[in-house]
Amino acid sequence: MNSPFLQSIKEVMYRRRYAKKTIESYLHWIAAYIRFHNMKHPAEMGDNEVEQYLSYLANARNVSPNTQALALNALVFLYREIIQQPLSVTLDFAMTKRKQKLPVVLTRNEIRKLLSLVPHHHYLACALMYGSGLRLMETVRLRVKDIDFDYQCLKIFDGKGGKNRIVTLAPELFEPIRNQIEQVETTLSRDLNHQNYAGVWMPHRHREKYASQSRALPWQYLFPSHKVSQDPETALIRRHHINEKQIQRSVNSAAKNAEINRHVTPHTLRHSFATHLLQSGADIRTVQAQLGHSDVRTTQIYTHILQNGAQGVCSPLSNI
C-alpha cells in the first residue's frame, strides 16, 4: 500500500531505531487492518475495530498465536505512538488456540544429503545453521568479528529478543570461514575505492563510539550482498548482508532434489541441531543456552520429538 500515512509511520520507526524487519512487519499488519475496515483511517477507529480484526485473524484466518500477537503489537504501537490514543488494556477478542506443531527434524543422513545439494555459495550459511543452531537472520547478520577460532565459537549479538549468546563452532568449518573472510576482504578493498561508499551499517550504540570501524574488516558482514545499496535510514551507500530469501530458496530447492518429502526451511536446520544434540547426550540446559531460549519449556519441545510415537514402549508386533 503506497500511502503517505504508512510512509510517515515508517519514518517514525526509523528515527526511533526499530529494526528493519520489525518496521516491515508492523507496516504489513497496520495496512492489513486498514484494508479489513475498508480503508477507514485508524484515527476514526479504536478498541472495537481492533477487537473485530484480531477475532477475524483467529476465527477466519486461523493464524498462529504468535502471528496474532504480532498483529496486536503492531496495532498497539499504532495507537499509542502514532494516533496517540492508546488501546484499552482489556481488549476482548477471540484468542487463537491452534495447537503447537512439532517441528520438522531431519535425520543425520538427510542433513548430509541436503548440505551436499545446497549451492556452493550458500553451503557455509546452511552449515552454520545446522552446526551452530543459528536462526536464519542470525546467520546472515554475522560479522567477521563474531568468529572466534581460538575458542571454537560464534558470538551472537542482538538475537531474538535482543539477547546475546555464545554458540559452538564446528572446526570443520574453519577453512570455509577463512576463505569466506578472504572474499569479504577483497570486496571491502574494492568498496573503499569508491568515493561515495559510507562503510557497513553499524548498530546505533556503536555509530559514534566506533565510527571509523564501519570501514574495517572486523565489522563487515560475513555474507555481504553482491551489490551496494542505499541505506533506507540515512540514504548513504553501503553494502548490506545477503537477502535471507536467497538461502530460503536454496534450502527449499535442495530439499526437493534430496527427495525429502517434508516441509523443509532454514529453521529446520536449527531444529535438527537441537534434536541431534539431545540425541548425542547433551543435557537440556546446554541445548537451551545454545539456542538462546529464555524458558527451558521452549527447548523441551525437542524432547517430545525424541519420544514421539514411542514413549519408550516396545511394540507387541516386535515379539511375534
The pTM of this model reads 0.82
Residues of the chain with CATH 1.10.443.10: 100-310
Predicted pLDDT at 98:
66
Whether domain 4-82 has CATH 3.10.450.50: no
Residues of the chain with CATH 1.10.150.130: 4-82
Catalytic residue, from 160, 194, 226, 262: name it.
Answer: 160
135 is catalytic: yes
28 is catalytic: no
d(CA 245, CA 136) in angstroms, rounded, equals: 10
Check: CB of residue 174 under 8 Å from CB of residue 163: no
Mean pLDDT of 208-220: 89
SS3 66: helix
Residue 96 CB partners (closer than 8 Å, separation 6+): 57, 58, 62, 63, 64, 65, 67, 68
Among the ranges 174-188, 201-215, 294-308, which has the highest mean pLDDT value?
Answer: 174-188
Least confident residue range of 63-72, 189-198, 245-254, 291-300: 291-300
Catalytic residue, from 122, 143, 239, 293: name it.
Answer: 293
Residue 52 in grid coordinates: 473485530
271 is catalytic: no
Catalytic residue, from 145, 155, 165, 267: name it.
Answer: 267
267 is catalytic: yes
SS3 229: strand
Confidence of residue 310 (pLDDT cuts 50, 70, 90): low
Category of 3 on φ-ψ map: left (φ > 0), alpha (ψ -120 to 50) or beta: beta
Share of residues in the chain with pLDDT > 70 (%): 94
Mean pLDDT of 75-92: 95
Please identify which residue in the block is written with the cell numbers 515508517. 10
Residue 225 in grid coordinates: 550482498
302 is catalytic: yes
Least confident residue range of 141-145, 182-186, 209-213: 209-213
- Candidates 1.10.3720.10, 3.10.129.10, 1.10.357.10, 1.10.443.10; CATH matching 100-310: 1.10.443.10
Predicted pLDDT at 300:
84
Catalytic residue, from 135, 141, 239, 271: name it.
Answer: 135
Residue 302 in grid coordinates: 525437542
Category of 97 on φ-ψ map: left (φ > 0), alpha (ψ -120 to 50) or beta: alpha
d(CA 285, CA 292) in angstroms, rounded, equals: 10
Predicted pLDDT at 318:
60
Please identify which residue in the block is written with the cell numbers 521452549. 298
Task: Read off the pLDDT of residues 157-195 as tens digits, 9 standing for 90 and up.
Answer: 988 877 899 999 999 999 999 999 999 999 999 999 998
Residue 200 in grid coordinates: 557497513
Helix residue ranges per DSSP H, 158-240: 174-191
Catalytic residue, from 141, 270, 271, 276: name it.
Answer: 270
Among the ranges 193-197, 304-308, 315-319, which has the highest mean pLDDT value?
Answer: 193-197
Check: CB of residue 94 under 8 Å from CB of residue 131: no
Length of the chain: 320
